[in-house]
């Protein structure tokens, strides 16, 4: 974390540790909520245990992983794809230190940006571990053991999450690693074994595969990407397999053994035990709420069986002036979900109508092509007995996708059979992460597939695939 700004220094010097809102955690939800609270006139403080602001997302999550994904994609294009565009390179070499350095520069610029925003909005920041002392008091303990006690009319818990560690595969940071270490490997592994076929495993697996590693993904279930649309995840698996990624679905990991230069992974598939050898194993089986050591038990804040803090529709815990957001509570562990919850808390405290529409939280897998989704999947609609219509359209029939040289994937629009209201949109294709925003806005306003179908989409653009998929709901796609 940057040194306290002038507001922080003068506050500390005067012994004035009384705030309208104290936020524990400076991740996307914490810092965004704090900024909104300050905008609304609340005297606000943020406590962060790490040296830099931004939480997991900015420091060891969303941002550095996307930086490496983009860099590795450029490397892959230089190796195999630029020649098709008439760009000939005599020799392509990987400079991994420079690639990692670029990632670090991006992270620093953004974390420094948060420090600037705190100063601009007169938010006081404290570096140290924050824990509840009472319903209106928070203790901050620095790395040197120094403590401060803050008084707070309201408290927002935004402590985020940590990687789940398997009992038989404890992280050692070298051979058995989490997503954090996967962002800083000093050299490209020969064989990276990934346990977990979710977002984190596929993204980081893609990075190192593009840079030259053999990547094997082990997934216990029959499909990738958890609860995302089954048809689209099957398409994604086919594309990644074509790129060279290997998959072992419905395969359970029974144990890991670290040898001198390798990792032995004991697996069981179809009741047939076997072993898999690699030089590094990335355990990416999910994340869990970071709720230990926050003082929840001391003040009586209730948690569920998974260690997540229980909240009501207003994000209040069982103690009315203590709120919780983000990965600490139930729901998708996504930065943008946490941001909206942080803003909602600030607005609720100040008498505004803080609200989060959980039906329109988009999810993205930043492989290439990308997989983006919002709303219901076909599996969920079938399970709920909801009658629906489907419209889909492939990128292979889109002019801009052909020009880009990225034609794999499609857009699928799910609409209510009677009202035509959009129930879900799923995109596998180039820049799906950007395209999904159109679907989110349409759903936020209760839009129909007809609304999308009758809206202008510039030509030639990737977004035309969205329009054609919407047209296909009523079987009137025009480009194929």
Strand 287-289 relative to strand 410-416: parallel, antiparallel, unpaired?
Answer: unpaired
Residues 6+ apart with CB under 8 A from 342: 23, 28, 29, 30, 31, 32, 33, 34, 36, 156, 158, 325, 326
Active site residue 85: no
Contact 473, 390 (CB under 8 A): yes
Q: How far apart are CA 256 and CA 267, in angstroms?
A: 9
Strand 176-177 relative to strand 370-375: parallel, antiparallel, unpaired?
Answer: unpaired
Q: Which residues pair with 53 in a beta bridge?
A: none
Q: How far apart are CA 281 and CA 9, in angstroms?
A: 45
Q: Nearest 10 degrees: CA dihedral of 469, 470, 474, 478? A: -60
List 74, 80, 352, 459, catalytic entry: 459
Q: How far apart are CA 289 and CA 305, in angstroms?
A: 11
Q: How far apart are CA 420 and CA 214, in angstroms?
A: 45
Residues designated as active site = 459
């Amino acid at each position: 974390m940057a040194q306290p700004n002038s507001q922080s220094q003068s506050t500390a010097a005067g012994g004035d540790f009384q705030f309208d809102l104290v936020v524990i955690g400076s991740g996307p939800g914490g810092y965004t909520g704090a900024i909104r609270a300050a905008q609304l006139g609340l005297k606000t403080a943020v406590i962060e245990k790490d040296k830099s602001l931004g939480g997991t997302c900015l420091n060891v999550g969303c941002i550095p992983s996307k930086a490496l994904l983009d860099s590795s994609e450029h490397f892959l294009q230089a190796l195999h794809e630029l020649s098709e565009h008439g760009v000939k390179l005599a020799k392509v070499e990987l400079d991994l230190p420079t690639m990692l350095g670029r990632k670090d520069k991006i992270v620093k610029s953004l974390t420094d940006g948060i420090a600037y925003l705190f100063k601009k909005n007169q938010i006081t920041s404290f570096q140290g571990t924050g824990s509840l002392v009472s319903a209106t008091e928070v203790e901050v303990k620095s790395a040197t053991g120094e403590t401060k006690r803050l008084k707070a009319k309201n408290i927002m818990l935004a402590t985020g999450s940590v990687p789940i560690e398997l009992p038989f595969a404890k992280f050692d940071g070298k051979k058995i690693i989490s997503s954090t270490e996967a962002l800083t490997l000093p050299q490209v592994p020969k064989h990276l074994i990934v346990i977990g076929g979710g977002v984190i495993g596929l993204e980081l697996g893609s990075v190192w595969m593009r840079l030259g590693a053999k990547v094997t993904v082990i997934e216990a279930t029959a499909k990738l990407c958890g609860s995302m649309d089954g048809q689209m995840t099957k398409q994604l698996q086919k594309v990644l397999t074509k790129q060279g990624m290997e998959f072992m679905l419905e395969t359970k990991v029974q144990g890991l053994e670290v040898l001198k230069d390798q990792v032995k992974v004991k697996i069981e598939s179809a009741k047939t035990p076997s072993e898999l050898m690699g030089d590094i194993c990335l355990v990416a089986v999910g994340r869990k709420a970071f709720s230990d050591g926050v003082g929840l038990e001391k003040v009586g804040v209730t948690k569920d069986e998974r260690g997540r803090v229980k909240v009501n529709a207003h994000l209040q815990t069982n103690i009315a002036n203590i709120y919780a957001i983000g990965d600490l509570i139930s729901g998708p562990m996504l930065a943008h979900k946490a941001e909206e919850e942080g803003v909602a808390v600030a607005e609720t405290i100040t008498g505004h109508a803080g609200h989060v529409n959980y039906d329109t939280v988009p999810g993205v897998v930043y492989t290439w092509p990308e997989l983006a989704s919002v709303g219901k999947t076909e599996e969920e609609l079938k399970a709920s007995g909801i009658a629906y219509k489907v419209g889909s359209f492939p990128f292979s029939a889109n002019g801009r996708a052909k020009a880009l040289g990225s034609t794999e994937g499609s857009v699928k629009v799910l609409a209510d059979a009677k009202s035509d209201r959009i129930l879900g949109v799923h995109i596998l294709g180039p820049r799906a992460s950007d395209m999904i925003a159109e679907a989110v806005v349409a759903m936020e306003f209760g839009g129909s597939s007809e609304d999308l179908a009758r809206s202008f989409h510039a030509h030639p653009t990737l977004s035309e695939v969205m329009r054609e998929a919407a047209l296909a709901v009523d079987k009137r796609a025009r480009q194929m």
